């Protein structure tokens, strides 16, 4: 998948900052005076991407990519020109095509290859052909072409993998739609749960918890995929479920985990789906896990899943207010939910409400029961 413009720009700024620190360190270690060459490098590294950073938001995404590549080429060329002639063409030839791969864009990579070849030949001509024999020049040029061809193959693999990932994600989204189309009341549920989950996960990661956000996102979007096997009449039943019907409902976490395993998702994602209906007190399903036996991602998904279930209309009841959902969830800390999540839930609740009100209208009821809340 191609790196986003924002992430690409951050990466380039990070490279520049590391370059400044390294350059300063070298000068200090060698005891050299900060000469004009140092300040030239400093100017390029600290100001090189400033014009683009300030203006790129005014252009379309496609234009942004080309402008960033042009800016990147100018900065790389400027650095190359300031280096000793014996190293200048090597820098632009090696780094420009390598950085171009980040765009995952054939046209940009082709431009970087052509530009690198032209600069290489130009630098050799400036340096004087007499300094290297024609044989040496052709050998270096051949190695450059081989290097570019290798990078081109890497790019082709990246593009191919991006297409596979795109198609795979489309397939998964189709499966989720197939689940939710069976029940008008749960349409959009998986996406909302995933969004709530990411709010929690991002907060926890910022607080130092070890949370793999991408794995969490995939687990949460797939958490109910097993419901594709549940008959429509049970999913949409307006009255109370019988014990037999509820047992059918409870199979969806195992069915979803099995399907995720067949799709060759990692074990941590499979387990997150499998155990998202476990309870802290051990009274959940399918395995009756309790406490720390329950995976962290499953606990996060369970909290997000419950909040969305409570604040959404269901066949057997209307939606609760966000405040009432908050009360129900807090009351069930240390039974259904891990009590250590109470402070986390308090911290993200405002973001939940903000997200909820921006996505849908909420219908309210005053009376509630905790049974079958998700």
How much is the pLDDT for 32?
74
What is the per-residue DSSP string for 158-186? HHHHHHHHHHHHHHHHHHHHHHHTT-GGG
Q: Please tell me which residue, 77 or 224, carries the higher pLDDT value.
A: 224
State mean pLDDT over 225-231.
87
Q: Which residues contact 123 (CB under 8 A, 6 or more apart)?
A: 80, 85, 88, 89
Report pTM.
0.58
Choice among 74-83, 153-162, 218-227 with the minimum mean pLDDT: 153-162
Long-range contacts: 283-290, Cβ < 8 Å, 24+?
283/335, 284/336, 285/250, 285/253, 286/250, 286/251, 286/253, 286/254
Question: Which of these, 211, 255, 249, 212, lies nearest to 233 by C-alpha position?
Answer: 249
Q: Beta partners for 136?
A: none
Whether 234 has a pLDDT exceeding 90, the answer reads no
Query: Domain spans of the chain?
Result: 5-163, 182-359
Whether 302 has a pLDDT exceeding 50, the answer reads yes
How much is the pLDDT for 272?
95
How much is the pLDDT for 273?
95
| 304-320 residue pLDDT tens | 999 999 998 877 778 89
Residue that has been written with the tokens 């990147």 in this structure: 72
pLDDT band at 81 (very low <50, low <70, confident <90, very high): confident
Reading the block at residue 49, the tokens are: 């991407």
Asked if residues 364 and 357 have their Cβ atoms less than 8 Å apart, the reply is no
State mean pLDDT over 82-93.
63
> CATH number of the domain at 182-359, out of 3.40.50.150, 1.20.1250.20, 1.10.3210.10, 3.10.20.30?
1.10.3210.10
How much is the pLDDT for 340?
95
Question: Which of these, 283, 327, 281, lies nearest to 306 by C-alpha position?
Answer: 327
CB neighbour class for 304 (10 Å; exposed up to 12, middle 13-18, buried from 19): buried
State mean pLDDT over 234-253.
87
Helices (H) and strands (E) in the chain, counts: 16, 0
Whether 235 has a pLDDT exceeding 50, the answer reads yes
State mean pLDDT over 61-70.
84
Q: Please tell me which residue, 319 or 342, carries the higher pLDDT value.
A: 342
User: Rounded CA gap, 77 and 237, in Å?
Assistant: 68
| Dihedrals phi, psi of 278, to nearest 5 degrees | -75, 155
Q: Please tell me which residue, 160 or 276, carries the higher pLDDT value.
A: 276
State mean pLDDT over 343-366.
76
User: Rounded CA gap, 89 and 237, in Å?
Assistant: 71
pLDDT band at 198 (very low <50, low <70, confident <90, very high): very high
How much is the pLDDT for 147?
61
Count of CB atoms situated within 10 Å of the CB of 8: 19
Q: Which residues contact 228 (CB under 8 A, 6 or more apart)?
A: 175, 178, 179, 182, 255, 259
pLDDT band at 57 (very low <50, low <70, confident <90, very high): confident
User: Rounded CA gap, 370 and 317, in Å?
Assistant: 12
Question: Which of these, 189, 209, 191, lies nearest to 200 by C-alpha position?
Answer: 209
How much is the pLDDT for 284?
94
State mean pLDDT over 275-289.
95
Choice among 63-77, 204-218, 283-297, 299-313 with the minimum mean pLDDT: 63-77
How much is the pLDDT for 6?
78
State mean pLDDT over 153-158.
65
| 99-150 residue pLDDT tens | 777 777 777 777 877 877 777 777 666 655 445 555 555 655 566 666 666 6
Question: DSSP 3-state assignment of 362?
Answer: coil
| 161-194 residue pLDDT tens | 666 566 566 667 777 776 766 665 567 888 899 9
Q: What is the 3-state secondary structure (H, E, C) of 210-258?
A: CCCHHHHHHHHHCCCHHHHHCCHHHHCCCCCCCHHHHHHHHCHHHHHHH
Q: Please tell me which residue, 132 or 4, carries the higher pLDDT value.
A: 4
- Maximum mean pLDDT: which of 15-19, 27-31, 294-298: 294-298
pLDDT band at 337 (very low <50, low <70, confident <90, very high): very high
């Amino acid at each position: 998948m191609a790196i986003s413009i924002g992430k690409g720009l951050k990466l380039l700024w990070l490279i520049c900052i590391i370059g400044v620190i390294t350059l300063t360190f070298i000068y200090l270690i060698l005891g050299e005076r900060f000469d004009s060459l140092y300040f030239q490098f400093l100017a390029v590294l600290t100001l090189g991407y400033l014009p683009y950073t300030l203006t790129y938001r005014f252009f379309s995404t496609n234009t942004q990519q080309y402008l960033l590549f042009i800016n990147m080429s100018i900065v790389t060329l400027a650095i190359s020109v300031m280096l000793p002639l014996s190293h200048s063409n090597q820098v632009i030839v090696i780094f420009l095509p390598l950085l171009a791969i980040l765009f995952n864009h054939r046209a940009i990579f082709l431009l970087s290859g052509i530009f690198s070849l032209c600069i290489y030949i130009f630098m050799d001509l400036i340096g004087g052909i007499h300094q290297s024999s024609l044989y040496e020049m052709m050998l270096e040029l051949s190695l450059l072409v081989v290097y570019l061809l290798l990078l081109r193959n890497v790019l082709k693999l990246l593009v191919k993998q991006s297409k596979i990932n795109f198609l795979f994600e489309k397939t998964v989204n189709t499966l989720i739609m197939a689940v939710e189309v069976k029940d008008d009341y749960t349409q959009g549920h998986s996406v909302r749960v995933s969004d709530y989950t990411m709010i929690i996960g991002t907060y926890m990661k910022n607080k130092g918890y070890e949370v793999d956000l991408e794995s969490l996102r995939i687990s949460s979007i797939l958490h109910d995929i097993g419901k594709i096997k549940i008959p429509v009449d049970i999913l949409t039943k307006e009255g109370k479920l019988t014990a037999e019907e509820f047992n059918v409902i409870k199979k969806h976490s195992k069915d979803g985990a099995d399907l995720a395993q067949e799709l060759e998702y990692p074990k941590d994602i499979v387990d997150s789906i499998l155990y998202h209906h476990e309870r802290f007190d051990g009274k959940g399903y399918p395995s009756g896990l309790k406490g720390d036996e329950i995976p962290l991602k499953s606990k996060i998904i369970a909290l997000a899943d419950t909040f969305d279930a409570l604040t959404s209309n269901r066949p057997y009841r209307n939606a609760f207010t966000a405040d009432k959902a908050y009360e129900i969830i807090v009351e069930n800390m240390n039974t259904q939910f891990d009590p250590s999540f109470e402070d986390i839930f308090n911290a993200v609740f405002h973001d939940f409400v903000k997200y909820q009100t921006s996505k849908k209208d909420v219908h309210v009821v005053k009376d509630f029961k905790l049974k079958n809340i998700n």
